[in-house]
Every structure is written in C-alpha cells, then in structure tokens.
C-alpha cells in the first residue's frame, strides 16, 4: 500500500511539473498576439518604405538625369514589389487567428525565422549584383547600370537590416517560449521533469 501511495504521489508531482512547464492557453494566446502584432508592424514598416520610395522615385526620375534618374527609377520599380509583399503579408496576418496550440505556435515562429534568414541571404545577393552593375556601369560608362546598381545596393541594405531586426525580435520571442519547455524531457521511453529551487 505504501508503494502505491508513493508511486501515486510521484506521478502527481511529475504531472504537475509537466503542466507548470507548458504555457497556459492564455499565455499562448498572448504570445501569438504579440507575434502577429510584431509581424504586422514589420509589414507596415516595409509598406511605408515602399510607398516613400515609389513617391520619391517617381518624382526623382522625372526631375533628374544621368545615373540619378536611373537610381530613382529602380527605387520606384523595386518597391512596387515590396509594397505587394507588405500588402499580402499584412492582410494574411490580419486574418490569422492567435488561438493556436503550442505545436502550431512553435511551427509559425520556426517557419517565419527560416524565411527571414533565407531573405537575408537574398539581400546580400541583391547588394552583390548592385555592386557588379555599378562597377560595370563605370567601366562601360552606362548611367543606367550605375544608377540601377546604386539602387540595388540601397534596397538590399535596407532589406538586410529589416530582415535582421525582425529575425532577432522573433527569435527573442520564440526563445522565451522554448525556455518554458526546457524543464520537460522526453526520450521516447522516459519522461523527466526538472524543478529549479
């Protein structure tokens, strides 16, 4: 009888530790609301950058000449794509429910962070292509290539910083969520819960 009671108490302690280790539904809802809000604000920043580049670029290419004209032209053209991405991204986030389970939440964080890292790699590529175009424009005395190259360097640099900031903000949020699960370990054949006193 004493062994049964001891086993029962041990299971109760382990089970209560497992419950304490997982975020509650209200915590998870708040985490997802924060994630959606952070990503929505990111899309608003990208949209604002795009609108300002389209406006300044459109005016600039009609008021200037030489490589500056092509710099503004590429800024305006490039940011029509950024505006579309920001619009679709923002709309998708507005329609996303924050009511998700733990697994879905972790997956959302993970997928978003992978996309941001992939985009950061593309951003470096944009800057490299821009540097190549700029250098080629100098060699061939092409205002168009110089202007386009300068624009691609600027746009790639902005996007690199933008993606980097969003990545580290998302990583900080997802790390807090993952840390709350560190006290629970499942090896496939054993479940262990660690208590820190």
pTM of the model: 0.78
Cα dihedral 164, 94, 178, 26 sign: positive
| 167 lies in the same domain as 189 | no
Looking at per-residue confidence, does 151 or 187 come out higher? 151
What is the phi/psi pair of residue 75, to 5°? Answer: -60, -45
Q: Are residues 18 and 106 in the same domain?
A: no
Please indicate, yes or no, whether residues 158 and 79 belong to a single structural domain of this protein.
Answer: yes
Q: How far is CA 152 from CA 74, 77, 139, in A?
A: 8, 11, 18
Whether residue 36 sits in one domain with residue 11: no
Same domain, 8 and 89: no
Tell me if 149 sits within 8 A of 77, measured CB to CB: no
Q: Is 191 helix (H, G, I), strand (E, B) or coil?
A: strand
Most confident of 8-12, 91-95, 113-117, 172-176: 113-117
37: tokens are 């809000």
**Do 109 and 173 have their domain in common?**
yes
Residues 61/69, Cβ–Cβ less than 8 Å: yes
Question: How many domains is the chain built from?
Answer: 2
194 shares its domain with 161 = no
pLDDT in tens, 92-109: 999 888 888 888 988 999
CA end-to-end distance (rounded Å), the chain: 30
| Cα 76 from Cα 61, distance rounded (Å) | 9
Write down the mean pLDDT value for the chain. Answer: 85
Question: Within this chain, do residues 157 and 96 fall inside the same structural domain, yes or no?
Answer: yes
Q: What is the pLDDT of residue 13?
A: 53
Check whether residue 150 and residue 99 sit in a common domain.
Answer: yes
* Residues 14 and 39 occupy one common structural domain: no
Residue ranges making up the domain that contains 120: 24-180
Are residues 12 and 64 both part of a single domain? no
Is 152 within 8 Å of 124 (Cβ atoms)?
no
Do residue 127 and residue 47 come from a single domain? yes
């Amino acid at each position: 009888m004493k062994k049964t009671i001891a086993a029962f108490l041990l299971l109760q302690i382990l089970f209560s530790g497992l419950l304490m280790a997982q975020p509650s539904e209200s915590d998870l809802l708040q985490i997802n609301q924060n994630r959606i809000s952070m990503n929505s604000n990111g899309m608003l920043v990208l949209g604002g950058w795009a609108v300002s580049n389209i406006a300044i670029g459109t005016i600039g290419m009609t008021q200037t000449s030489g490589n500056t004209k092509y710099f503004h032209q590429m800024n305006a053209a490039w940011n029509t794509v950024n505006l579309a991405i920001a619009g679709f991204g923002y709309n998708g986030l507005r329609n996303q429910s924050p009511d998700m389970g733990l697994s879905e939440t972790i997956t959302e964080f993970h997928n978003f962070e992978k996309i941001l890292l992939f985009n950061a790699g593309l951003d470096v590529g944009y800057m490299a292509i821009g540097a190549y175009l700029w250098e080629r424009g100098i060699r061939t005395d092409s205002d168009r290539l110089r202007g386009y190259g300068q624009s691609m360097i600027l746009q790639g640099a902005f996007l690199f910083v933008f993606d980097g900031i969003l990545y580290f903000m998302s990583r900080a949020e997802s790390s807090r969520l993952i840390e709350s699960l560190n006290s629970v370990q499942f090896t496939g054949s054993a479940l262990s819960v660690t208590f820190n006193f």
